[in-house]
Structure formats: C-alpha cells, structure tokens
Amino acid sequence: MSQVSQIAIIPGAERKLRNRVSIGQAIRDSFIMGYRGLLKIRRTPEQLFDVTLQPIIFTLLFTYIFGGAISGDVQSYLPIIIPGILAQTVLASSSATGTQLREDMDKGVFDRFKSLPIARIAPLAGALLADTVRYFIATTLTFAMGFLLGYRPGGGVAGVLAAGALMIVCAWALSWIFAFLGVISRTASSVQGLSLLILLPLTFLSNAFVPVKTMPDWLQWLVNVNPVTHLITAVRDLADKNVVGTDLGLALLGAAILVAVFAPLTVRLYMRKA
C-alpha cells in the first residue's frame, strides 16, 4: 500500500489538452467499446441463447413440421426454409441491441463513460459493432444446421459466404431501429415489447416459410413490398445459384434507407442524452 506512484497525479500544466476528438480516436474508442461488448458476452454467455439455440431449434421444428406440407418432402423444403430461418433469427437477434443499450445507459458505468475523455459516440458505436459478432454466430449456426439436415446449396462456398455477409449487413442496418428505440424508451422491457411488434410482421409477412403464390392477393401485395422478402429471395439466389439479382439491390437499398434515416436520428438523440 506504500506505492505512491500509481496514485500520483499529473498536473494540468503537464498535459496536452485538446477540446476535440479526432476521427482516429473516435474509431479507436468505438473498437474498445466493441471489445467491451465481447468481454460481456464471454462473461454472460446466456446472452447468446437467442443466436445459438434459436437457429438449432427453429430449423429442426420448421423443417420437419412444414416440409412435407409445403414442398412434398423435407429435402426440397430446405432451400426455402434455411434462408427463411436465417432471416428470422438474425433479424430477431438484432433487436437485442436496443434492450442492451437501454440497460447500459441506465447503469452507473455509463456515468463513467460520460466522464472519460472519449468520443461521445463510442458506447453506441461499440454496441452496434459487438452485435455483428452475434449475427455472425446466428448465420453460421443456421447454415450449419441446414447442412446437417441435408441442405446442399448450389451456389457453393462463395454463394453461401456472400449470402451470409448480406444477412449480417442487413441485420446491422435493422439494428439501428432498435438502437433508436433503446435511446428513446424509458425501460428495457418497453424496448423489448416494441421490438417484437416490429419484428413479427416484418419476418412473418414475407416469403420466409411459405411460397408467396399460396397467399391471398392482398397479402401477396404486402409480402412483396416487405424488404425482408427481397432479402430472403436475394439470400436464396446467392446460396442456390450464386446469382446477383434485383432483389439483392432492393435489399441493400432497404438497408441503406434504414441506416440513412435512423443512424442520424439515433445519434442525435443519443448525443443529447450522453
């Protein structure tokens, strides 16, 4: 306890003081906060339940329950259901961003972040960054489950990798909505409730599980304007045929619009509170 050096102070006059955060420092701080997210996942692995158990259980359930009815047999249903489950689980896992952000902002540690000379945006950016790891896990597990059940996508490794990458990019874009909810909501549970309201129609009013042709006309219209439908079609095209179609363009356009609208909105509100 006699070691004085660690608590010795450095007077203000001997410090290089700056009132600005450089872009380089902002990026560095964001990655450190992202690293914090990963450490938290390691400490509380139960955070990964949604991205580990859901792909496994849902893939098994949906494939065997719907396979026969929709495609005649399980084998020919796999190319339809695997991209569908992929979209459902990965997009759903992006909703955790909002609840976790809210919980974080309510904790004492957030005061510490605010009192440190770091980029104001770093805690938010770090959270969004760390969550891409979750999407990666969900994507990998869903494809792996499909492979175990006999799914052999025709697009080969390149097609599957491209499809996975597309999925992760779109989930990241969608997570901005949830980050927005996390910033404006008062409690974590209200974020969760709202997130579910957004997720359910988005993933079920799509071609994720059932061919669109089988639906009534008015529903077909709804399903076809849902960007998630285009995302799933694009994933199927990439995985099955390694083909880049208009759906890919539409999915990326939808993602870009989401980010363009919600990123500035969220950042502005967040900075006001941070």
Residue among 42 and 152 whose Cβ is closer to another protein: 42
Q: For residues 13-32, which are near another protein according to CB under 8 A? A: 15, 17-21, 25, 29, 32
Cα(105)–Cα(273) distance, rounded to whole angstroms?
Answer: 9
Instruction: Provide, rounded to whole angstroms, the least separation between the CB of residue 110 and another protein.
Output: 8
- For another protein (CB under 8 A), the number of binding residues is 40
Instruction: Provide, rounded to whole angstroms, the least separation between the CB of residue 212 and another protein.
Output: 43
Instruction: Provide, rounded to whole angstroms, the least separation between the CB of residue 19 and another protein.
Output: 5
Query: By CB under 8 A, which span of 62-70, 101-109, 145-153, 155-163 interacts with another protein?
Result: 101-109
Instruction: Provide, rounded to whole angstroms, the least separation between the CB of residue 232 and another protein.
Output: 35
| Element holding 33 (H helix, E strand) | helix 23-43
Instruction: Provide, rounded to whole angstroms, the least separation between the CB of residue 269 and another protein.
Output: 15
Q: What is the DSSP code string of 214-250?
A: GS-HHHHHHHHH-HHHHHHHHHHIIIII----HHHHH
CB of 207 closer than 8 Å to CB of 84? yes
Q: Which amino acid is at 130?
A: A
Kindly write out the interface string for residues 104-133 of this chain, putting x where it contacts another protein by CB under 8 A and - elsewhere. Answer: ---xxxxxxxxxxxx---x-----------
Cα(233)–Cα(178) distance, rounded to whole angstroms?
Answer: 24
Residue among 1 and 69 whose Cβ is closer to another protein: 1
Q: For residues 27-86, which are near another protein according to CB under 8 A? A: 29, 32-33, 35-36, 39-40, 43-44
Closest CA to 229 of 250, 200, 260: 250
Residues 59-68: contacts with CB under 8 Å, at least 24 apart:
59/85, 59/142, 59/145, 59/146, 59/149, 60/145, 60/149, 62/209, 63/149, 66/209, 66/210
Q: Which residues bind another protein (CB under 8 A)?
A: 1, 3-12, 15, 17-21, 25, 29, 32-33, 35-36, 39-40, 43-44, 107-118, 122
